[in-house]
């Protein structure tokens, strides 16, 4: 049995939306024809020659790390990465990348890491705003003639305002008193030049996408009876959802840092890098932060998260040292590959749940961690 590549991409992009990717990242289809059919999926952290050797012809390789990212200006067959691309194309194999979009998705890379360690996720360490950027519009319309307010509403609705989810033409109104003093050169619709005028007015509120700001203002001005309509445009704060980098999680029972470090070592695949920790070995741990992949950019968030420990990868000497000087949060540093490998199983289960027996899915057993030689004691 086969499945159209485009159908697999739809599932992957629904689970790991490309819009969650960092601006510098490169995610999505690298090679392959979405209209063609694939017979298998192989999942790995990195697209290497050893991993590609496990991918059958007409198979898809789903990789976490981009094969092609910064500074790529050739895929010549005599270059290391170009050779992989040519090999895949010649044998009908496809390559798809889910990187920082999978890091931020829910569930995503850090959720898989927390699950591998037996933790229960409760929050996002560094959430990102979800939903569109919105404005709240406040417009003041004379209330003597209801048709005036209806005309302004209708013009703003037509320009894209007043939409909330599956509801349209949403607005709110309340009465009040407006005041203004027309000066020389004004042509007031109500009142006279040089005289303070007080008018019963309706305050009308509605929201609109920030991207529609010019269109909504044009509609408002064209429908309003005043020469100079009074209005406010308030940019609304975007709310955070359950997506973003890193996770905050809890243990079922508190345990000493030394026991928690052992839990991390036992829960992740073995690497030459191993597991390193910094902190008081006897300190109790019950609430932790985790971030699959390089995580020292989140040390400030970790220090403010009311956690006792932080599990991540690629912690550099100086950021770790600076953190330990000002924070009691223990640091547990693991290999980059090991911290992200649990995501491969998560992605595999996603595809198995959707396609079942029609699309065999396997996780590559190749350890693509570049550190592969351990020193020995004599």
Does 340 appear as a known binding residue? yes
Every domain of the chain and the residues it spans: 3-102+341-363, 106-129+243-334, 134-236
Q: 3-102+341-363: CATH homologous superfamily?
A: NIF3 (NGG1p interacting factor 3)-like (3.40.1390.30)
Residue 293: left (phi > 0), alpha (psi -120 to 50), or beta? left
Does 64 appear as a known binding residue? yes
Does 103 appear as a known binding residue? yes
Q: What is the pTM of this model?
A: 0.82
Closest CA to 361 of 16, 55, 97: 55
Task: Judge if 3-102+341-363 and 106-129+243-334 fold alike in CATH terms.
Answer: yes
Per-residue pLDDT tens for 124-167? 999 988 778 999 999 999 988 899 999 999 999 999 999 999 99
Does 3.30.70.120 match the CATH number of domain 134-236? yes
Per-residue pLDDT tens for 330-372? 999 999 999 999 999 999 999 999 999 999 999 999 999 999 8
Task: Check pLDDT > 80 for residue 114.
Answer: yes
Closest CA to 238 of 334, 134, 84: 134
Return d(Cα 155, Cα 144) in angstroms, integer: 19
CA distances from 293 to 65, 161, 377 (A): 10, 41, 29
Phi, psi of 204 (to 5 degrees): -110, 130
Mean pLDDT over 223-250 rounds to 93
CATH code: domain 106-129+243-334 is 3.40.1390.30
């Amino acid at each position: 049995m086969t499945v159209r590549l485009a159908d697999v991409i739809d599932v992957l992009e629904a689970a790991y939306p490309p819009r969650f990717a960092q601006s510098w990242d490169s995610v999505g289809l690298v090679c392959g024809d979405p209209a063609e059919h694939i017979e298998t999926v192989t999942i790995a952290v990195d697209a290497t020659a050893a991993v590609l050797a496990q991918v059958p012809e007409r198979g898809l390789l789903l990789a976490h790390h981009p094969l092609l990212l910064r500074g790529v200006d050739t895929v010549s067959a005599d270059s290391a990465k170009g050779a992989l691309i040519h090999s895949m194309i010649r044998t009908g194999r496809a390559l798809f990348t889910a990187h920082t979009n999978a890091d931020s998705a829910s569930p995503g890379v850090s959720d898989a890491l927390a699950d591998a360690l037996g933790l229960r996720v409760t929050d996002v360490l560094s959430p990102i705003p979800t939903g569109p950027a919105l404005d709240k519009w406040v417009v003041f319309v004379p209330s003597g003639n209801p048709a005036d307010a209806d005309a302004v509403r209708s013009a703003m609705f037509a320009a894209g305002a007043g939409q909330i989810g599956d509801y349209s033409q949403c607005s709110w109104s309340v009465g009040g008193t407006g005041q203004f003093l027309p000066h020389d050169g004004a042509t007031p619709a109500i009142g006279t030049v040089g005289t303070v005028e007080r008018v019963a007015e309706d305050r009308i509120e509605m929201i609109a996408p920030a991207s529609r700001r010019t269109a909504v203002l044009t509609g408002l001005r064209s429908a309003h009876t005043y020469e100079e309509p009074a209005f406010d445009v308030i940019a609304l704060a975007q709310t955070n959802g359950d997506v973003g980098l890193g996770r905050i999680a809890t243990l079922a029972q508190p345990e000493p840092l030394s026991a928690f470090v052992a839990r991390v070592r036992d829960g992740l695949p073995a690497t030459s890098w191993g597991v390193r920790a910094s902190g008081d070995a006897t300190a109790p741990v019950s609430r932790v932060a985790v971030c699959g992949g390089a995580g020292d950019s989140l040390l400030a968030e970790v220090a403010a998260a009311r956690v006792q420990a932080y599990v991540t990868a690629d912690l550099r000497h100086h950021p770790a040292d600076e953190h330990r000087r000002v924070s009691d949060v223990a640091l547990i540093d693991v290999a980059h590959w090991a911290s992200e490998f649990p995501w491969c199983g998560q992605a595999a289960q996603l595809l198995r749940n959707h396609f079942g027996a029609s699309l065999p899915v396997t996780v590559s057993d190749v350890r693509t961690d570049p550190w592969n030689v351990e020193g020995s004691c004599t």
